[in-house]
Amino acid sequence: MGHQLTGYADEAMYRRLLLQGCRSLEIDCWNGRRGEPVVTHGNTLVNKISFASVAKAVGEAAFVTSQAPVILSLEMHCGEKQQARIAELLKRELGPQLLTRDELRRIAEIGRAHV
């Protein structure tokens, strides 16, 4: 919220955008302490919030006002271990609502079988 260099990050904004009908979100992911990734606008004065809180907000609000897909664009500045943690958090918070690579492969195979 506010200025891109000095604004305030808050997971409630992600929730609010989804409830207002937004179907595409960019999430700037950075390495955090103790193996927990954070969300912030990097190299600025914007505060850091936990990726876990953002994932929870998305999971709670993504399909309340619309069943249309939500595109999450993850601007990734995390190392491999925290990327894996992000995947765990998204799977936990979005569950079956998350379209995974394996599911995409199954859909593609079904499509090829019908051609």
Summarised one tens digit per residue, pLDDT across range 55-73 is 999 999 999 999 999 999 9
Pull the structure tokens for residue 103.
């599911």
Q: What is the mean pLDDT of the chain?
A: 90
Phi-psi region of 43 (alpha: psi -120 to 50; beta: other; left: phi over 0): left
What's the whole-number mean pLDDT along residues 43-59?
Answer: 90
Distances (CA, A) of 88 to 21, 60, 82, 92, 109: 26, 16, 10, 6, 26
pTM (2 d.p.): 0.86
Secondary structure letter of residue 96 according to DSSP: G
Strand partners, 50: 38
